[in-house]
Amino acid sequence: MTSDSEIANQPANALAVPLVLAIVGLLLYLPGLGSYGPLDPTDSFFIESGRELFESNNYLLPMHNYRPWLDKPILYFWAVAGSYHLLGVSPFAGRLVSALSGVVLGLSTYGFSWPYIGVRQATIAALIFMSFPLACAIGHMSLTDLPLAALMGIALQALFHFEKSRKISACLIAYFALALAFLCKGPIAVIIVGAIYGLYLLLTSSPLKTLPHRILQAKPFWGLLIIAVVNLPWYTMAAVGTNGEFLREFFITQNFGRMVGAVNHQQPFWFYIPVLLGGLFPWSLLAILLSLPLLTKTALQEVQIKLQKLWSERGRLDNRTAYLFLCTIWAVFVIVLFSAIKTKLPTYVLPGLPPLAVLIATVLAHVESRKKTLIILGTLMTATMIGALIAPAITKDWVTVFLVKEYLIFYAGLLAAITFTVLAWRGQTKTALNMLLASAITLTALLVPLGHLAFYEHRQKPFEQLIERIQAAKADIATVVVEAPALSYYLHRRVDPLRDRAEGKAYLAGGHKPHYLLVPREIMESLNWFDRAPVELGKTKNGKWTLYALD
């Protein structure tokens, strides 16, 4: 194990390593970013909302369908609108903030971790995080989750660095990042960061009476002041501008409602098991294989002894062990918290991915002697690639099109997996692991944007073709209940969702002819809102949307 003094004396490679990491990150997150249009419902929402701010030049509240939208704070919408000011309105510009956040989070993971785990392992940790398929896929969409994860990750690691270095700059970085996270998503960021760091302080305080002193050393009152200074002006204006409606909708409905599952996206407790298994591939397989030997009785007893020793020495942990302990608490807390909350989305576990990358990177330093484990890993990766190649025979939808179209890349992945297995079999484990890292980066960089493009061409492009028909006919258009932000993006006007018969009648009576309606066929068949039978004009391939003429 590398000691604290050895790590501290290692050069930080202040320019070379971050430059290489930045280049790799940009090659992972930027290619293909603008090769497909807005994806309904969420990606297109943020792309369109930023465009409406940019178009209206009104930056007080987020906009949705040309109305104030009270579900989220303003920071991300400002950032997207700012990107439009610099680059012009386009899907690329609308997604750029999210993509760059993934690169920044990778760089910050390296920058804050190298003093504690060494330059090599910190570099590997950053590369692993940026090549996680889940992180890269979310970075290719316009969402608040990756910027939020970046700000939370910076805050947590800067707090730890402040504890160990006592550099005021680290403290200011931590709380300023936390303040921006509050302006990006609200109090959930402060709650999660505070809970994780509080648990770390609690579990490493021996005797326990030192806990209050360590909490005060973290200068929490500075943090509250910085958060207040950054956030109070906008939150006050939003509350006044909506007569208090923003505070009720955002804090009560969106934050508390999502925690108790009263909003939507309710999933079972095991939801994140397949998400992490696929979203962290192939590193998730390696983590599982390394964990299996620990399940034997002898191994469990050894682990228990090590944990007891760790607990007895918790007040005297060296910096490396303390940092890895923080990462363990961080990753476990995020996964357990969002597994317990009823409302679940794959993006919610993003804040837990940087510490997982750090833990995996530190394990890789000791896995070179585990020849058998690496052979099994190579065999499983080979089976996965073979499964991807034969999957088109049993799968449907856009995935089939994607797998068939990009079969050469999957053949390359199969060849890489076989080569990895052969190298491990021959005992060339270091070469095998370097190849694994390079292959994971390359395959993620190729397959993620191509996967998004395949999804767009199968699901979204047919919808855009219906929009082109609406534009060509210069028709008025409405939907039923469900909103499609891509409509407003292309039409540059509000598109009302009709919610009952009275609104349907009012829609026909107003506006201008022809009146069109976009709605799933099964919903249209259940409606009895119109005197004349609607005429079907076209539909998307998957049948989600059908375009009707009402007059």
Angle at which helix 283-291 crosses helix 371-390, to 10 degrees, equals 140
φ and ψ at 516, to 5 degrees? -110, 160
Per-10-residue mean pLDDT, the chain, length 551: 46 77 96 93 93 92 89 94 96 97 97 93 96 96 96 96 93 96 93 95 85 92 96 92 83 62 69 94 90 64 66 74 94 94 89 96 82 92 93 80 89 95 92 94 96 91 92 91 88 89 86 86 76 85 84 79
Taking alpha carbons only, the member of 65, 204, 151, 12 closest to residue 497 is: 65
Sign of CA dihedral 509, 510, 515, 516: negative
Backbone phi, then psi, for 501, in 5-degree steps? -60, -40
Neighbours of 354 (CB within 10 A): 32
Is 546 within 8 Å of 519 (Cβ atoms)? yes
| Cα 511 from Cα 477, distance rounded (Å) | 9
What is the pLDDT, as a whole number, of residue 5? 45
Residue 154 pLDDT = 97
Q: What distance in Å separates the CA atoms of residue 460 and residue 456, rounded to the nearest whole number?
A: 5
Spatial distance between the Cα atoms of 41 and 497, rounded to a whole number of angstroms: 14
Q: Read off the amino acid at residue 521.
A: R
- What distance lies between CA 40 and its chain's CA centroid? 17
Q: Give CA–CA dist 402/399, Å, rounded.
A: 5
How far apart CA 329 and CA 323 sit, in angstroms, is 10
Amino acid at position 416, single letter: A
Give the pLDDT score at 74.
Answer: 94
**pLDDT at site 257:** 56
Q: What pLDDT is stored for residue 314 in this prediction? A: 66
Query: How many residues are there in the chain?
Result: 551
Q: Give the pLDDT confidence score for residue 4 in this predicted structure.
A: 47
Cβ-proximal residues to 416 (8 Å cutoff; 6+ apart), any chain: 435, 439, 443
Tell me the backbone φ, ψ of residue 528, rounded to 5 degrees: -135, 55
- Which residues lie across from 519 on neighbouring strands? 546
CA 127 – CA 115 distance, rounded (Å): 17
Distance CA(177)–CA(227), nearest Å, equals 9
What is the reported pLDDT for 492? 92
Task: Indicate yes or no: pTM above 0.85.
Answer: yes
Domain-wise residue ranges, the chain? 4-262+278-364, 371-451, 460-549
Distance, in Å, from the CA atom of 289 to the CA atom of 302, rounded to the nearest integer, reads 18
What gap in Å lies between CA 323 and CA 99, rounded to an integer? 27
Q: How far is CA 451 from CA 136, 272, 276, in A?
A: 11, 21, 18
**DSSP letters along 487-519, please?**
HHHHH-S--PEE-SHHHHHHHHHSS-SSEEEEE
